[in-house]
Each structure stands twice: as structure tokens, then as C-alpha cells.
Structure 1
Amino acid sequence: MLPGLPPALLLLLQAFLLWVCPVAASIQEQYCESLPPVTNHTGPQCNASVDLIGTCWPRSAVGQLVARPCPEYFYGVRYNTTNNGYRECLANGSWAARVNYSQCQEILSEEKKSKLHYHIAVIINYLGHCVSLGALLVAFVLFMRLRSIRCLRNIIHWNLITAFILRNATWFVVQLTMNPEVHESNVVWCRLVTAAYNYFHVTNFFWMFGEGCYLHTAIVLTYSTDKLRKWMFICIGWCIPFPIIVAWAIGKLYYDNEKCWFGKRAGVYTDYIYQGPMILVLLINFIFLFNIVRILMTKLRASTTSETIQYRKAVKATLVLLPLLGITYMLFFVNPGEDEISRIVFIYFNSFLESFQGFFVSVFYCFLNSEVRSAVRKRWHRWQDKHSIRARVARAMSIPTSPTRVSFHSIKQSSAV
């Protein structure tokens, strides 16, 4: 019963509904009967009928599967009327009790769609960052333990992996600590967390730039890599991003000091203080990539291999260099436009690429690195040999006194007697 209504009014309301509902149903049935039959058939037919949902099924021949548009609304939910529901007219001239509405799909509102895609993108982000962090930690330990492969090239790889680890770690800190209350409070520690995340984000780009510098120097300039020094790349990867982030933090403090320095206020462009250098090093890496592929193609043409193998190697080199030099990050600065499909594709592709970038770097620079694999294989064989020697020594120590020695002792005793 409805609260607050007097009993007399409730009785009047029930009487009105008991009168209106049959009248409405009768009108709907009359309309349904007035519809022409689905096929001009003079044999047995199923009479026009209205099901419980309110769909009208006109007269139809027996054995026929009739299609009718899905209801526009049902229990306040809107459905796609371009699809159909199906009901069979049975041989005895009656309609099947069950109507197949499986093709009728709910039309989600724009808000529901955006929430659904947002939640899926969040799941992709968490999954990608977890996988990337695990792979990066394994790669970090391998580079740390395998001292035999510690050359400048692998030191650059090691630092790039370290930068990705720190960035992934701060990403988790941001996700676990930043909530709407913290954003609105704009406390000092949350601004420092944002600054640290952006710093490690920039170091990723500059260490990728270091990778590009090394490859370009070795392949295009044919300059001896022995003359390159570790401190040069440390300055590029760790030192240069620091004043950039300090300048960005000062700009945020004076012009956009709100919401833990996430997002940006309209008309304020302080984020370009660190995004500008990132775009610049990406463009330079793109030039490096072009020159490297050009030189590789030239060398491949000069070789005696067949044309198919040449192009296969060139394509393989390009596919490997694209993610490693960070060219795919250029997509993060592209505006997907107002088209709904474009925005959805951009959200998913962006989430996947950004979160799994560390995993790809670990695979290409460590797990597929021939030097790393060879060193791991040698370590494994050495460990197996060491444990097999220990096992043989342990077995030898556990063997009882041999019969020969026992007989010799007994001979001495018999001679003494």
C-alpha cells in the first residue's frame, strides 16, 4: 500500500486501475487484430495475440516463425527496436508460450557507456602496470647479477628499466593515495607525489633518447662507442629532467596550485614545461629512427642475401625500434576527436600501450637480449655442474668401508697372532 493515502482514496485508485487496465488491453488487442496477416494463407492460422510484454503478434500461418520489432521500453529500460523478437506459430494453431527476445539489446545511456569504458580502461591499466612491474623487476635483477655483460650499452638498458620501475611504482602510489578528498585538500605530500611521478615519466623519455643517441652514434655516425662515457648518459637520463620538473613545479605553484597539480586550468599551459621537452626528444628519436632504418636498408642491399630476407630484416628492425625509442608515445598527444568510436579506440589503445610499455622494454632489452640469455645459460650450467659435483662428493662420503680394506685389516690381525 502507498503510505500516507487514506483508505477511501486507495479504494478509488484500485477501482480506477481495475477499469483502465482491461480497457487498455482491449484496445491493444483490437489494434493487433486489425493488423493484416503476415502471409496470405487460407489454411490454419494462429489468431492475433498480445504477449505479456505488450508485443503484438498478428495472424500467422501455422509452422511460421514470426519476427516483430523489440519493444521500445520495458520496465523503464530502453531497447534497440532495430532488432527483432521471434515467436513460432505451432501446428495446432496456438502460439508458442516462449518468445525469443534474445536479440533485444538494452540501449545504454551515454553516461553508462562512458562509465563502462572507464572501468575497463582502469582494469587494463592495473593489469598492464602489474605485468610491467613484475617483468621490469626480473630484468633489473638480471642486469644487476650478470656482471659479465656490464658494458655501456647494457648499462643504458639497465637505467631505462630502472626509470620504468620507478615510474610504475609511483603510478601505484598515485592510484592508491589520490582520492577526491585529497585532490580537493591539495596537501603538500600529494603535490610532491605528482611531481615525483612526472619526473620519472620524463626520465623514461630521456633514457629512450639516450638509447636513440647510442644507436645513432654507433650505426649512423659510425663513431667508436668506446669513446662514449657513462656520465654523459646519466646526465641525459637523470639530471636534465630534474630542472625541467622544478620549473614545472614553480609554474604550478604560482599559476595552477590546485587538485594536487593534476590536470590543468583553462588558459594555463604550465604542463607544457615538461611535455614540450618530451615531445622534442620524441621528434629527435623519430629522426634517429629514420636514419637508422635508412642505414640498415643500405647495408642490407649491399649484402648477398635475397630480397625477401632483406626486407624481413628491415621490417623486424623497424618494429623493434619503434617501441624502444618511444615513438609510440606520440599517440598520447593526438586528439581523438568528437567521434564516439574514435574516443573509445583511443582510450583502450592508450591504456594498453602506456601500461604495457615497461613489459615491452623488458622483453626487447633483456629477455630477448642474446648477451643476457647467453649469460643466464652459462650461470645455469655452472649451477648444475656445481650441484652435480656436490652430489657426487656427498655420495662418495656416504659409501661404507670397502671389502678390500676390511680384508687387509683382518690380514694384519692374523699375522700378529
Structure 2
Amino acid sequence: RIARITPPVVCSLPVQVFLLWDSPVAASIQEQYCESLPPVTNHTGPQCNASVDLIGTCWPRSAVGQLVARPCPEYFYGVRYNTTNNGYRECLANGSWAARVNYSQCQEILSEEKKSKLHYHIAVIINYLGHCVSLGALLVAFVLFMRLRSIRCLRNIIHWNLIAAFILRNATWFVVQLTMNPEVHESNVVWCRLVTAAYNYFHVTNFFWMFGEGCYLHTAIVLTYSTDKLRKWMFICIGWCIPFPIIVAWAIGKLYYDNEKCWFGKRAGVYTDYIYQGPMILVLLINFIFLFNIVRILMTKLRASTTSETIQYRKAVKATLVLLPLLGITYMLFFVNPGEDEISRIVFIYFNSFLESFQGFFVSVFYCFLNSEVRSAVRKRWHRWQDKHSIRARVARAMSIPTSPTRVSFHSIKQSTAV
């Protein structure tokens, strides 16, 4: 049986700690207070007398054989506990309290600072894990596009460059994490500002290469312009060249108006970061317009078409439709205020950390690993390698076959001659 005092009567722990550990007089007052409390149940039989344990919890008079529940202490040694849970102590049959009190359900309440640190550390782990997985997948995809020359068309060259941009962005992210610390931030040395500029440059190139993906599909499907007339240098200018003056302009703005803390973050009232964030948002919105037109055309004019080129376009559109929200949502999240609600802030931190760090992995999967051209070329390479090695094995076996029968035949001839 569990007996609970209703309503629970307990001293607040700051008083308890003072009473128990400040002086013997205070401890005596605490015991007198505990004895004055009514018993847990109206029982005329054997009882356990009121008692105060070493933590300072008061256990009023209780009938023998009862398991008494008392609220957990509010504070103990400076640590706050959840008082909605209970500690338990048994009144033994001999009229004495059990020496051991069960406080296993008393859980520490983490302070806001501790909670923030905990969630921050988990978010950092997610970021490191995501960037490691992304970088590994991106490197594999990059090598596949580099080695498989049979699929090297303009569309896949654009995929290849997008993957390269993500590799460089992930690599500079690790450089930022491993080199930046509070001392470096405060010193604001030249090399740390250059690292920040490089990271932001590769961040911008990600969006402009996605813009290149959208331009290619829009030109081929909506404008019905022959892709043979499109040139690689056009997309290289879009993906690698245009972001450069944007970052240079941003760096000049930072140098004159916000030249502190390695150019990370921004001061109130200073909007230099919008120099590169604005173009990123602009190309993202243009890509959404492109995709709207592309999907509209595919749903109307190309529904009945089954040519291999049309099938490839459809697959490319599907990949872009999936990736654009992934790329766009994560960036738009920076402009969303999660509010003061704790759950909202936690969801914001984890959701943003996951999508931000695993972007490269999603790009590799949709543009390379699920690309039918890449998979077909890899299968052909694999079959060719197997055939090559099987031919070598057959030739080696064929060359080793004549030696044994020849020795046997000479041996048999010698025997027959002797006979």
C-alpha cells in the first residue's frame, strides 16, 4: 500500500537546508515541525514516528506496513528537482522507518542555460555527422562523373559542377569549424576573414549552379531551344563567375561597416550580408518560376511522349523539384523567427541542422546515385571488368592445360617402348 499525504506538506528546501545544516537548533525546530504534522492515515495501531531524513524531507507519522510517498525536494546542493515526482519510504512492521529512501524518481530540472548547451551540442553533432556523410557521398559522385566519360553531356556536366560546388562548401565548413575559436574571432585576423569569404562564396555558388540546372531545363523544355546550341562556358559563368563580384562587394561592405569577428554574424542596423543573400533569394525565386513553367509544359505537351530524351528531362525535373525545396527551405529558415516557445526553438535548431548539413548527400543521391545514365554506365563498366578478368582467367587456364597431358604421354610412350 502506498500512502500519500493530501495535500502534501513539505518545507521548501532552502528552509530545509538551513534548518538541517546551519545549526543543531534549526534541526530541532525542523523535527518539531515534522512531529506537529497530522498522521498519514487515522490509525490507532503501531505507527512509525515522524522523522526527517538526511536530505531534509519530512516523513509524518504513518501506520506500519505502509509505503509513504512524499514530494521530491525542490533544491538539494544547489540543484533543482521536479517536485511533481515523489520519493518513497516504507514504515516497517517494527515501527521504524526504512533506512533507505527511494528518490529514484526525483529528476533534476536542467536550467535554461544547461538545456541550451545540451541542444547546442546535439545540433553540433548532427552538423558534423551530416557534413561528413555529405562530403563522402559528394566525393563518390564527383569521381563517378569524372570517370564515366560516356555520359559526359552538358546536362551531366552541370550536375558535376553543382557537386563540385557542394564539395568545396563542405570542405570550407570543416575549415571554419576547426580553425575558428573565440580568440580568433576577437583577433579578426586577415586569414579568418578570407576563410569566411571563401565559405560564403561557395555557398552562393551552390545556389547559382542550382540556377544553372533550372536554366538548362527551362531552355530545353519551355523555350524548346536546342540544347546543342548551349555552351558550357555560359553555365560556368553563371555558376562560378557571377558569385565572385557579389562576394567581393560583400567583403568591401564588411571591411568598411562591419569589420569584426571574422565577418561572422552581423551588427544591429548593418545589412551588408544582404549583398550576397539577396542574389541567392532572387535566383531561388526564379528557379521556382522556371519549375512551375517546366511542370506545366510536361503535364500538357509531353504527357504522351515516350522518347528517351523526354524521360531524362522528366527525371531531371523530379530531382530538381525535390532538391529546390531542400535547398530553399533551409535558407528561408534563417529568416523565420521560431518565437519564445521552447519546443519551437528546439524543432527549429534540429530541423535546420539536419537539412543544412545533409544537403550535399541529397544532391549526390538525386543527381548521381539515382541517375539512370550513371547507373547504366556503372553497370557496363562492371560487366566489362568482369568479362576482362574472366577472359584472363580462361586464357591462363588454357595455357596451363597442355603441360600435364604432354608429360603423361611421354611417360606412357617410354613404358610401352620398354615392354
TM-score of the superposed pair, with normalisation by structure 2: 0.83
- Structure 1 residues 47-78: Cα deviation after superposition (integer angstroms, max 9, x where no partner): 32211111112223344332211111111212
Q: Which moved more, 1:170-179 or 1:97-106?
A: 97-106
Please tell me whether the aligned partners of residues 129 and 355 of structure 1 are also in contact (alpha carbons under 8 angstroms): yes
Structure 2 CA distance for partners of 1:64 and 1:167, relative to 1, 3 Å: same
Q: Map residues 128-143 of structure 1 onto 2, 5 A cutoff.
A: 128-143=130-145
- Give, in whole Å, the separation in 2 of the partners of 1:380 and 1:45: 83
The CA deviation at 1:82 is 2.4
The CA deviation at 1:172 is 1.2
Q: Which moved more, 1:354-363 or 1:254-263?
A: 254-263
Structure 2 CA distance for partners of 1:21 and 1:309, relative to 1, 3 Å: farther
Structure 2 CA distance for partners of 1:315 and 1:400, relative to 1, 3 Å: closer
Please tell me whether the aligned partners of residues 70 and 87 of structure 2 are also in contact (alpha carbons under 8 angstroms): yes
Q: Which moved more, 1:395-404 or 1:170-179?
A: 395-404
- Give, in whole Å, the separation in 1 of the partners of 2:291 and 2:15: 78
- Structure 1 residues 335-378: Cα deviation after superposition (integer angstroms, max 9, x where no partner): 22233332222122211211111111111111122221121121
The CA deviation at 1:200 is 0.4
**How many residue pairs were aligned?**
411
Is the partner of 1:103 in helix, strand or coil?
A: coil
The CA deviation at 1:142 is 0.7
Q: Which moved more, 1:53-62 or 1:224-233?
A: 224-233
**How many percent of aligned residue pairs carry the same amino acid?**
98
Structure 2 CA distance for partners of 1:26 and 1:138, relative to 1, 3 Å: same
Is the partner of 2:89 in helix, strand or coil?
A: strand
Please tell me whether the aligned partners of residues 16 and 56 of structure 2 are also in contact (alpha carbons under 8 angstroms): no
Please tell me whether the aligned partners of residues 247 and 273 of structure 1 are also in contact (alpha carbons under 8 angstroms): yes
Q: Which moved more, 1:371-380 or 1:98-107?
A: 98-107
Please tell me whether the aligned partners of residues 296 and 314 of structure 1 are also in contact (alpha carbons under 8 angstroms): no
Is the partner of 2:303 in helix, strand or coil?
A: helix
The CA deviation at 1:100 is 2.1
In the other structure, the counterpart of 2:4 is none
Please tell me whether the aligned partners of residues 19 and 26 of structure 2 are also in contact (alpha carbons under 8 angstroms): no
Structure 2 CA distance for partners of 1:312 and 1:197, relative to 1, 3 Å: closer
Structure 2 CA distance for partners of 1:135 and 1:46, relative to 1, 3 Å: same
Structure 2 CA distance for partners of 1:259 and 1:91, relative to 1, 3 Å: same
Aligned-residue CA RMSD (Å): 6.4
- Give, in whole Å, the separation in 2 of the partners of 1:46 and 1:239: 84
- Structure 1 residues 162-212: Cα deviation after superposition (integer angstroms, max 9, x where no partner): 000001111111122222222222222222111111100100111112222
Q: Which moved more, 1:312-321 or 1:381-390?
A: 312-321
The CA deviation at 1:303 is 11
Structure 2 CA distance for partners of 1:225 and 1:215, relative to 1, 3 Å: same
Structure 2 CA distance for partners of 1:412 and 1:167, relative to 1, 3 Å: same
The CA deviation at 1:141 is 0.5
- Give, in whole Å, the separation in 1 of the partners of 2:211 and 2:245: 17
Q: Which moved more, 1:190-199 or 1:57-66?
A: 57-66
Structure 2 CA distance for partners of 1:163 and 1:87, relative to 1, 3 Å: same
- Give, in whole Å, the separation in 1 of the partners of 2:337 and 2:406: 88
Please tell me whether the aligned partners of residues 20 and 56 of structure 2 are also in contact (alpha carbons under 8 angstroms): no
Is the partner of 1:294 in helix, strand or coil?
A: helix
- Structure 1 residues 118-165: Cα deviation after superposition (integer angstroms, max 9, x where no partner): 222222211111111111111100111111111222111111110000
- Give, in whole Å, the separation in 1 of the partners of 2:416 and 2:369: 69
Structure 2 CA distance for partners of 1:15 and 1:150, relative to 1, 3 Å: closer
- Give, in whole Å, the separation in 2 of the partners of 1:49 and 1:312: 78
TM-score of the superposed pair, with normalisation by structure 1: 0.84
- Give, in whole Å, the separation in 2 of the partners of 1:201 and 1:301: 36
In the other structure, the counterpart of 1:43 is 45
- Structure 1 residues 25-63: Cα deviation after superposition (integer angstroms, max 9, x where no partner): 222222222222233344443332211111112223344
Which structure 2 residue ranges, 5 or more long, are not aligned? 1-6
Please tell me whether the aligned partners of residues 49 and 56 of structure 1 are also in contact (alpha carbons under 8 angstroms): yes
Structure 2 CA distance for partners of 1:199 and 1:99, relative to 1, 3 Å: same
